[in-house]
Amino acid sequence: MKRSRRTKIVATLGPASDTPEMIAKLFRAGVDVFRLNMSHLPREKLPEKVEAIRAVEREFKRPIGILVDLQGPKLRLGAFAEGFAMIENGASFVLDGDPTPGDVHRCYLPHPEILSALEPGHSVIIDDGKLRLTVTEVSEARAVTRVEVGGRISNRKGVSLPHTVIPLPAMTDKDRGDLEAGLNVGADWIAVSFVQRPEDVAEVKKVCAGRALVMAKIEKPQALTRLDEIMEISDGVMVARGDLGVEMPLEQVPGVQKRITRSARRQGKPVVVATQMLESMITAPVPTRAEVSDVATAVYEGADAVMLSAESASGAFPLEAIAMMSRIAEEVERDALYWSIIRAQNSTPDHTAADAIAAAAHQMVDALDLEAIMAWTHSGSTALRLSRERPNATVIALTPKRETARRLAIAWGTHPIVTNDASDVDDMAFRAAKFAVRERFAEVGDRIIVVAGVPFGTPGATNLVRIAFITREHAAKA
């Protein structure tokens, strides 16, 4: 299962794609990581879905990543006496703590913490941007708003607050249960929804305690004001453009996407660009030209992965969507302009031996025109440092830890392999060469770069780089 692209694909499982047969087809078509969305997946179904993915992993003998996406706090209106009301532009509308069914003048907001956090001038967005209110005055248990964009307002519609820092943790009681369930079944990544502050990520990381890596979903404007802090504490980030586009002006989202992608690249954290990438393929077998351009833009920017949501979870053409996304990435990566953009974003290596070696390996790839960097890694940090450099060669991550291989499935340009750790320097070079041939990244007469840390098995101790020649003996052992 050698991929011919370096950008990874994350696919959400759902009613259209969660049978064992379809999971196998999706993986063969190009999926590297499967996302399980706990907003729609009942917790008791989680073990069954994970086992189906692991069965495919065993069949293809390739590590597959599993991303469990927590729902996060969902803010919703209360009910209306008639099920809905029509509110007009310029009218006054009250949000309050009274559970009495609402009408054209007021509605129950069952979140007292929101009422206490709202201030005059703050926007209240309802039903994914269909209605927009502006707060004019607030008191202890009510907020008076002016209707800026009116229309039909109905029961339990979602509420977004782009200007308000909500005094709510990123994890609800449901999320805590889902998180524990995800860790128990061996999830590789946990995605935290509606992150506003670094403390939201820290709370999840404390519970994970190293059992899974934590990805912060950037989908609220408040997160952008503390992006560097959130990025530092997270293991990876996701640009959740759907909710970002609801809570901030749409025209600002592309710039934010670039900012997050480049910041993650500088810090060596995997970044996933998500939502509405091939939206029309939910109902059509081909995407629009604009959608193709959108996916290509994320690839040109050097995103580690691009993600499909409803396209693969509930759409009519999940396999076609995966195949299309894979072809777009492959075509972009063949473009000479792609590599000029990628190299223009290269940052100065940190003052560590590991970063110096990763930068040197990148230069060696260019100078010697090599196809593979063989990285012996225990925790995955060596492979991630090499991936950050975006070399024009595949980073083959050799690790004794299956969980490390699965986590690296999301990282740009990595090809993880589970194998016993090297016993000495000669064993390190010989087996690296053998795997390069076996995985069809090199042949007799080629050279490869081998990166490792001595003593072996010590996490984060990258301190060695070596050039190895592929011989007939390596090919025979492969």
pLDDT at 350: 81
Q: Which positions are catalytic? A: 35, 76, 217, 275
Extract the tokens encoding 21: 């047969």
Asked whether the predicted pLDDT for residue 461 surpasses 80, the reply is no
Decide which of 3.40.1380.20, 1.10.10.10, 3.30.9.30, 1.10.150.120 is the CATH code for 353-477.
3.40.1380.20
Q: Which position has the higher pLDDT, 158 or 1?
A: 158
- Per-residue pLDDT tens digits for 91-142: 999 999 999 999 999 999 998 888 989 999 999 999 988 999 999 999 888 9
Considering only 32-46, 59-73, 166-180, which range has the smallest mean pLDDT?
Answer: 166-180
Per DSSP, the residues of 24-68 read: HHHHHHT--EEEEETTTS-GGGHHHHHHHHHHHHHHHT---EEEE
State which amino acid sits at residue 69: D
- Measured CA to CA, the distance from residue 445 to residue 460 in angstroms comes to 31
Highest CATH level, class, for 84-160: mainly beta
State yes or no: pLDDT of 32 exceeds 80. yes
Report pLDDT digits (tens) over 252-280. 999 999 999 999 999 999 999 999 999 99
Cβ-Cβ contacts under 8 Å for 248 (sequence gap 6 or more): 162, 221, 256
Please state whether beta strands 131-138 and 84-87 pair in parallel, antiparallel, or not at all (unpaired). unpaired
pLDDT at position 2 over 90: no
**Parallel, antiparallel, or unpaired for β 131-138 and 123-126?**
antiparallel
Same fold, 8-72+170-336 and 353-477: no
CATH of region 8-72+170-336: 3.20.20.60
Segment 446-454 mean pLDDT = 92
Nearest 5°: phi and psi at 267?
-90, 0
* Alpha carbon distance 427, 399 (integer Å): 14
Domain ranges of the chain: 8-72+170-336, 84-160, 353-477
**pLDDT at position 349:** 80
Query: Using 50, 70 and 90 to split pLDDT, how confident is the model at 325?
Result: very high
Mean pLDDT, the chain, integer? 94
